[in-house]
């Protein structure tokens, strides 16, 4: 009889009714992953389970004890979720190394235990962080939800027969993130229903550039973060922070170090004007997420 449980180097997975359980994986906390500012399409219900959409599939994730339960099949786990949650990377070892840098980083790493850098779609990450400019997280989420509802396609729920309405308190459909090609065919005025303001022109301009292959996001992902940063900053409306966010969260360049108001406050307080993120090399991006999460939730820490 074929076993329902499979052991990998860093974790175990087991087939369950309606999904799978991931256990023995170090540092995987859905709350920290989805609420550390790196993504905008996952929402928690009253039980602490998160439902969202990634790579065109709607899914649900929740933690119970030492396991994380994910909706969907084993095939979907291998094709999408294993990579999306970066499960083959030892975050425990990375955070232990970062904790040795200094006392403040140790506090941030301990507080941020469970954060993992998601493997997001490059275009979705770029577009989302263009929208994020001078915006708060609830409003960013609202604009992106409207963008997907207006211009995306209804997403299949992970697991095939499982429907999102059976797992959430609201009977609502979920939508894919619209492709660059889909948005490139629009004009900024077409985005009026999502109420993104001046960012509409930036979104359409970036969509047209990406759809034309300049920049080629997949090629940028294979290069250095410095090269990606400079290429992305050629897009209208993309400055240092958006370029660094797109490099870290969309292109998987883990040495990128986005700086927002929370990170800048922490740097000013604990490191001063001579700060160089290279002290966290080669995982400055993971350090940044821990610092952001800690500084935003423990501003006096």
pLDDT of residue 299: 78
Please give the pLDDT value at position 153: 95
Could you say which DSSP state residue 81 is in? I
Count CA within 13 A, CB hemisphere, residue 53: 25
pLDDT of residue 172: 67
> What distance lies between CA 237 and its chain's CA centroid?
21
- Measure the CA–CA gap between 241 and 262, rounded to whole angstroms: 12
SS3 59: strand
Per-residue model confidence (pLDDT) at position 171:
52
Which pLDDT belongs to residue 168? 43
Structure confidence by residue, pLDDT tens digits, 104-116 = 999 999 999 999 9
**What distance in Å separates the CA atoms of residue 2 and residue 6, rounded to the nearest whole number?**
10
Q: pLDDT averaged over the chain?
A: 92
What are the tens digits of pLDDT across the range 201-228?
999 999 999 999 999 999 999 999 999 9
- Which tokens go with 223? 């290069």
Per DSSP, 179 falls in state P
The rounded distance, in Å, linking the Cα atoms of 290 and 285 is: 9
The upper half-sphere exposure of residue 290, i.e. CA atoms within 13 Å in the direction of its Cβ, equals 27
Q: How many angstroms separate the CA atoms of 254 and 203, rounded?
A: 25
Region class of 119: left (phi > 0), else alpha (psi between -120 and 50), else beta: beta
At residue 25, the pLDDT reads: 84
Q: Where are the domains of the chain?
A: 5-111, 122-156+169-250, 261-297
Q: Mind listing the pLDDT tens digit for each residue in 241-283?
A: 999 999 999 999 999 999 999 999 999 999 999 999 999 999 9
Give the H/E segment covering residue 216: none
Strand partners, 67: 23, 64
Domain 5-111 in CATH 3.30.310.260: yes
Closest CA to 115 of 145, 93, 85, 138: 85
Helix (H) or strand (E) holding 157: strand 156-157
- What's the pLDDT score for residue 159? 56
Give the pLDDT confidence of 149-182 residue by residue, as tens digits: 999 999 988 654 333 444 443 456 899 999 999 9
Cα-trace Rg, the chain? 19
Q: What percent of the chain has pLDDT over 90?
A: 82
| DSSP H or E run through 54 | strand 50-54
Whether residue 292 has pLDDT greater than 90: yes
| Per-residue pLDDT tens digits for 57-74 | 999 999 988 899 999 989
pLDDT of residue 166: 43
122-156+169-250 belongs to CATH 1.10.340.30? yes
pLDDT band at 26 (very low <50, low <70, confident <90, very high): confident
């Amino acid at each position: 009889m074929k076993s329902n449980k499979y052991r990998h180097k860093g974790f175990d997975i087991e087939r369950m009714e309606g999904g799978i359980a991931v256990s023995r994986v170090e540092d995987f906390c859905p709350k920290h992953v989805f609420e550390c500012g790196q993504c905008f399409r996952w929402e928690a219900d009253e039980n602490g389970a998160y439902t969202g959409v990634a790579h065109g599939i709607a899914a649900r994730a929740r933690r119970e004890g030492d396991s994380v339960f994910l909706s969907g099949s084993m095939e979907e786990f291998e094709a999408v979720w294993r990579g999306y949650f970066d499960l083959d990377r030892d975050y425990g070892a990375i955070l232990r190394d970062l904790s040795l840098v200094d006392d403040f980083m140790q506090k941030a790493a301990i507080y941020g235990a469970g954060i993992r850098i998601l493997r997001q779609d490059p275009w979705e990450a770029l577009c989302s962080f263009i929208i994020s400019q001078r915006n708060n997280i609830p409003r960013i989420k609202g604009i992106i939800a409207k963008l997907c509802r207006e211009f995306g396609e209804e997403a299949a729920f992970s697991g095939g027969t499982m429907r999102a309405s059976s797992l959430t308190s609201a009977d609502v459909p979920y939508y894919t993130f619209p492709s660059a090609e889909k948005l490139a065919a629009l004009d900024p005025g077409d985005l009026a229903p999502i109420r993104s303001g001046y960012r509409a022109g930036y979104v359409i301009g970036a969509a047209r550039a990406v759809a034309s292959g300049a920049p080629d996001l997949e090629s940028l992902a294979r290069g250095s973060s410095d090269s990606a940063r400079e290429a992305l900053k050629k897009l209208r409306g993309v400055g240092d922070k958006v370029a660094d966010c797109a490099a870290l969260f969309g292109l998987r360049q883990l040495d990128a170090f986005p700086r927002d108001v929370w990170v800048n406050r922490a740097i000013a307080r604990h490191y001063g004007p001579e700060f160089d993120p290279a002290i966290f090399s080669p995982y400055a991006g993971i350090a940044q997420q821990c610092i952001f999460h800690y500084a935003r939730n423990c501003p006096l820490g």
